[in-house]
Amino acid sequence: METTTFPQPATPLVVDVRSPGEFEAGHVDGAINLPLDRLGTDCAQVLPDKATPLVLCCLSGARSGMAAQWLRQQGYQQVANGGSVGSVALQLQRPIRRG
Task: Enumerate the active-site residues.
Answer: 58
- C-alpha distances in angstroms, 38 versus 3, 12, 19, 56? 47, 21, 10, 14
Distance CA 28, CA 96 (A): 5
Residue of 65, 66, 55, 59 whose CA lies nearest to 91 = 55
Amino acid sitting at position 36: L
Cα Rg for the chain, rounded, in angstroms?
A: 14
